[in-house]
């Protein structure tokens, strides 16, 4: 499963690129609902957490002795880091650069390194391998968010066919 997770992580930049290709700046800024992120915010977030939320944690487990891992509140971070003001193209490019380096690094990790642990302050013990699976899981969640923005954009144009669906 780890290989599958690494493949997913490696595939995310291209998936993102395809999903946002052709979107205008205002489409990227649009929140589908007041409590849902825009594409711009999702891109800013992926760029922001790639090091801090992901790589740094895996590295800490490998280099340290069961380090304590601080929780990461993405909603608060989005406000503090002004995700809504970030240039989406720059966020995307910066994310892709970091991801490329990280995939190379992840592929060098040995089985004994993957078994190393950290202690997450909220959920307890986590291994480096588990963190990598979560990393891929996190990617897919945010890709789904982008799909959701696109679904919302189609909604007003569907007429009576809306009756078959509910927007969550």
For Ni ion, the closer CB: 74 or 127: 74
Edge-to-edge strand list for the sheet holding 117-120: 68-69, 117-120, 124-127
C-beta of 42: minimal distance to Ni ion in Å?
A: 8
C-beta of 74: minimal distance to Ni ion in Å?
A: 5
* Chain residue at closest Cβ approach to Ni ion: 74
* Residues 56-95, mask of contacts with Ni ion (x by CB under 5 A): ------------------x---------------------
Binding residues for Ni ion, rule CB under 5 A, total 1
**Distance between CA 136 and CA 7 in Å, rounded?**
9
Structure tokens given for 149: 């923005």
**Distance between CA 89 and CA 114 in Å, rounded?**
33
Length of the chain: 168
Q: Which residues sit at the interface with Ni ion, rule CB under 5 A?
A: 74
């Amino acid at each position: 499963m780890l290989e599958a997770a690494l493949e997913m992580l490696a595939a995310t930049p291209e998936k993102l690129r395809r999903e946002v290709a052709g979107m205008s700046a205002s489409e990227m800024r649009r929140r589908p609902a007041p409590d849902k992120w825009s594409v711009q915010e999702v891109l800013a977030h992926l760029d922001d957490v790639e090091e801090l939320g992901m790589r740094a944690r895996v590295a800490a487990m490998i280099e340290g002795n069961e380090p304590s891992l601080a929780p990461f509140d993405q909603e608060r971070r989005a406000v503090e880091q002004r995700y809504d003001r970030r240039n989406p193209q720059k966020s995307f490019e910066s994310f892709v650069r970091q991801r490329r380096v990280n995939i190379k690094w992840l592929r060098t990790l040995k089985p004994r390194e993957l078994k190393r642990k950290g202690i997450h302050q909220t959920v307890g013990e986590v291994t480096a391998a588990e963190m990598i699976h979560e990393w891929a899981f996190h990617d897919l969640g945010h890709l789904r968010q982008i799909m959701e923005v696109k679904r919302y954009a189609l909604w007003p144009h569907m007429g009576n066919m809306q009756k078959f669906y509910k927007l969550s």
